[in-house]
Amino acid sequence: MKKYLMIIRNSFMSSIIYRFHFFFTSLSNVFYIIIIYFLWRAIYKGSGGSINGMTFNQTFIYLALAISIFCLFKTWTDWGMSYQIINGIIVMNLIKPMDIQLLEMCNAIGFVFYNFITVTLPALFIIIFIFQPGVITVSNLMLFLLPMVLAFFISFNIDYIIGLTSFYTESIWGISIAKDTIVLLLSGALIPINFFPEILRKIVGFLPFQAIYHIPLTILISKDMSIYEYLKFLGIQLSWAIALYALNRFYYSRAIKVVTVNGG
């Protein structure tokens, strides 16, 4: 256990050395939040307060937090694995007495801590103190935590699938870009799922992406959620987490047989 904690610490420490980077990443996200604020204010201008059952405040909180969570979970696992494959340094991880999936996950957790400080915390401050949307309650925030942990696990496993794909293809530039777009679109992080046309909403319900953003955010912004509904959401997340984890175990056992390392 201790060795995995060290991995988390290392990955955190090595990411905080770029101070300048830190500042602009934070600023980028703040600007994005400002843009969506004005964009959605304009969208809501002609309507009578609520579109598709969501008020402006709810939509804004939903989208601003969604992008903050996207940045929080952006741990570059897939890029890192592809880099290790191309350079051959994956060997150094394969010979360690550690489980590679867990090792990558610990790396990702270290990154999440870093992202939390640089991106999510400033974003939260801005959302709460400048825009003052006032739809979040403390009890909602408590209920929000567990779904967030599960959401991270699902998000990591999706990245890990792409990372394992690099065992076959080496470069994953295109796949990774496509993945980011698909996840952002179909998870409701760019436009709330409530806005989707009926048929699309049904399809999205069967995919794992909405479990990353839509479920935790719905829990956060809804006013009176029954315990039954809450448990149902957790159930969906948990089943996706288990399914993706099992898939990755199987995929790894196949992929490890084809991996070729040049030198190293």
Examine residue 191 and tell whether it contacts other proteins (CB under 8 A).
yes
| Best CA proximity match to 26, nearest among 141, 155, 124 | 124
Q: Which helix (H) or strand (E) holds 90?
A: helix 90-94
Give the residue with the Cβ less far from other proteins, 117 or 175.
175
CB of 84 to other proteins, least distance (A): 17
Closest by Cα among 92, 94, 107, 97 to 252? 94
Using CB under 8 A as the binding rule, whether residue 223 contacts other proteins is answered as: no
Pick from 137, 171, 229, 250: which binds other proteins (CB under 8 A)?
Answer: 171
199 lines the binding site for other proteins (CB under 8 A): no
- CB of residue 190 vs other proteins: minimum separation in angstroms? 6
Select from 5, 24, 137, 256 the one that contacts other proteins (CB under 8 A): 24
Site map for other proteins, 47-86, x if CB under 8 A? x---xx----------------------------------
CA distance linking residue 94 with residue 255, whole number of Å = 13
Angstrom distance (rounded) from CA 241 to CA 251: 15
C-alpha Rg value of the chain to the nearest Å: 19
The backbone region for 170, taken as left when phi is positive above 0, alpha when psi lies in -120 to 50, beta otherwise, is: left
Q: Which two tokens stand for residue 14?
A: 């090595």
Under rule CB under 8 A, residue 190 binds other proteins:
yes
Q: What is the largest CA-CA distance in the chain?
A: 65
Strands, E, within the chain: which ranges? Answer: 50-51, 54-55
Query: Which of 178, 203, 231, 246 lies at the binding interface for other proteins (CB under 8 A)?
Result: 178
CB-nearer residue toward other proteins: 153 or 167: 167
Binding positions for other proteins, rule: CB under 8 A: 18, 20-25, 27-28, 31-32, 34-35, 38-39, 41-43, 45-47, 51-52, 169, 171, 173-178, 180-182, 184-185, 190-191, 195-197, 200
